[in-house]
Amino acid sequence: MLAPPAAGKGTQSARICKLYHIPHISTGDLLRDVCREDTDMGRMIKKQMEIGSLIDDEIMIHLLKERLNKTDCQNGYILDGFPRNKMQAQLYEEMLHDLHKKIDLVILLDLDYETAKNRITGRMLCPNCKHVFNFKIDALKPKVEGVCDICQSKLMKRSDDNEKVFDHRYETYQNETEPLIFYYQDKYPFYKVDSTKSVDVVFMQIKQILERNMI
């Protein structure tokens, strides 16, 4: 799933995974787990994420390979936040070849800069189960303010979810990730979904795409 920051990759991925019983692999979540470790690597990654820059391709490939080798990925998965540049896309294809897997389809969640920036300010994350909430969007509000509906953990604001860092993240998306649209659209089944619509409408569209391409 390709998308600018705050387009709803995490929210939609979680719904798809629940429906199809496949894992949701978010490279952002994998990195946030490493950041919580008290190691040089964890501190280095945290610093990069806080300014909204991409993490080194080699580290990303290593983390992803480790995750994809787990048995729960055998029947497919939703990949959220990867690849983010052309080098990652090429290395990912090599990795898939070695793992005897293939890309079934690519979904672009399309969202303009202004809407994305507005959403960022309301976003809250559960550090435990990774569920995403948004106190500015009715359908995404937690039932109890500041508490995760699913595991009752205290919700957190991501340190990179502020207006200043957002601009750099969006710029990084435009410069590094957006060119992947041209890389993927002629190579694999490719669908663009208007992500300005409500969570339910976007999900319905994604579901229709998945049903049409049922593998």
Active site residues: 9, 84, 123, 158, 169
* Whole-number Å distance between alpha carbons of 44 and 31: 11
* Whole-number Å distance between alpha carbons of 107 and 189: 9
Q: Identify which of residues 143 and 194 has a Cβ nearer to ligand ADP in the complex.
A: 194
Contacts of residues 130-133 at CB distance under 8 Å and 24 or more positions apart, as own/partner, are 130/10, 130/14, 130/26, 130/29, 131/14, 132/10, 132/11, 132/14
121 forms part of the interface with ligand ADP (CB under 6 A): no
Q: Identify which of residues 33 and 104 has a Cβ nearer to ligand ADP in the complex.
A: 33
34 forms part of the interface with ligand ADP (CB under 6 A): no
Q: Are 83 and 180 in contact (CB under 8 A)?
A: yes
Q: Are 79 and 163 in contact (CB under 8 A)?
A: no
Stretch that binds ligand ADP, among 20-28, 105-113, 138-146, 203-211 (CB under 6 A): 20-28
Q: Identify which of residues 60 and 210 has a Cβ nearer to ligand ADP in the complex.
A: 60
128 forms part of the interface with ligand ADP (CB under 6 A): no
Residues forming the site for ligand ADP (CB under 6 A):
5-6, 26-28, 31, 48-49, 52-55, 60, 81-82, 84, 88, 160, 169
